[in-house]
Amino acid sequence: MRILYTFLLYLSYPFLYFKLKKRFGKEYIKQRKKTKIKGNFDCIIHAASVGEQVLIIPLVKEFIKNGKKVLITCATDTGFQKAKDNFGGEELVSISYLPFDFPSSLKAFFKNVKAKSLILVETEIWPNIIYFAHKNGIKIFLINGRISDKSYLSYKKLSFFLKNLFKFFEKVVVRSEKDFERFVAIGCPENKVKVCGNLKLTNKPEVKHNVKIETKKPVVVFGSTRDGEEEVILHYLNDLIKKGLFLPIFVPRHIERTGEIIEVVKNFGFEPVLSNGEVDFKLKDNEVLIVNETGKLVSYYAIADLCFVGGSLVNFGGQNFAEPLFLGKPTVTGKFLSNFEDLRDALGNYFTVAENGKELKFFIENFFENRQYFIKKAMEAAAYLESNSQSLECVLGEIKC
């Protein structure tokens, strides 16, 4: 069956080549056909894209703490960049694309890369990668395993094939009882499957700075805002701010944009105030605080009455809206959340999505009229996230690096 799969894969390569070239470029294809990485590692962790790269952060940190040498692989350019953002300067971590699932590419890869274990994330069940890893004496694990309703129907038809693949796995660690039942149904031996909860909900943020805002107004923090969002926000919320409904604080994703944000704030008739390393502020009615330093976003979320998580009103794929929810803060985002769809599925009952600036204004007015309701939902979110806090410990007990 694997031979048939490989034959069909090679047969479809011309079509895949042009599709991938159009989306990612020739350099991407070159790097995935033949990776340059070499070395000996305790484990390889394959986290295909951005969401999976976020998921493995606490796991990799634990491995580093224990002196493990880790190779993080990915399958998308955004996943590669996210891995570099997370661990680019870490001495014990190397980052590479994982080769396409062609035997020729994988033979070369495993000739150059030696590891004790291969940890796959969520649904990365690639037949040739699994086969050649096993052939090279590498122990194989799957973490945060999940099977969607749509995928389940397809996997059920391939259960005979998948059953032969699962015999190569040491352990399949899944998110829920539902996932447990589905993995068993598609051919994974029951004694190899373990429920540990959702790892994406374990990366609890740390409040490192004691920020103080001297004001009688509620504080709304607009976090991780991207190019164009400040203008949309102020256009729709201008009158609410001037009426004194709340005090706005902007914490942009990239502080290099501080100059342009200052101009936007001035254009709407407000006086910009820069944080400049301070943590104690007394702001006048017409002043808007802009945080022009990194590493303090969570500390500002901590003092907010309401948090907006940016990169989502304009199409930048969103940012991590679990951070304010961990702190029990009512949270709203825009509709562009493509980088965090799994988090959206898990936490959709606990935060609000505003389709545009107009809806954002409507939500904020509604928030201040029904504040206790939204606070209650946020506290429920924090409790739910806290209940997942043991997931990492559970996963670490089931896998080896």
Tell me the catalytic residues: 52
Determine the 3-state secondary structure of 335 from DSSP: coil
C-alpha distances in Å from residue 260, one per residue of 253, 264, 276, 311: 13, 6, 16, 16
C-beta separation of 219 from 249 below 8 A: yes
Nearest residue to 221 via CA among 320, 289, 292, 277 = 289
Q: Which residues pair with 192 in a beta bridge?
A: none
Return the DSSP state at 122: T
Go through 340-358 and write b for each residue having 16 or more CB atoms within 10 A of its CB, e for each that does not. bebbbebbeebbbbbeebe
**φ/ψ of residue 307, rounded to 5:** -120, 130
Tell me the torsion sign for CA atoms 155, 156, 157, 163.
positive
Smallest CA-to-CA distance from 184 within 156, 161, 157 is with: 156
For the beta sheet containing 219-225, the strands, ordered from the edge strand earlier in sequence to the opposite edge, are 271-274, 287-290, 247-252, 219-225, 306-309, 331-333, 352-353
Q: 286: closest CA among 358, 368, 215?
A: 215
**H-run or E-run covering 61:** helix 57-65
The encoded tokens of residue 177 equal: 């009882």
Amino acid at the residue 288: V
**How far is residue 24's CA from residue 27's CA, in Å, rounded to a whole number?**
8
Cα–Cα distance measured from residue 203 to residue 196, given in angstroms and rounded to the nearest whole number: 15
Counting beta carbons within 10 angstroms of the beta carbon of residue 206, is it exposed (0 to 12), middle (13 to 18) or buried (19 or more)? exposed
CA dist 3 and 153 (Å) reads: 23
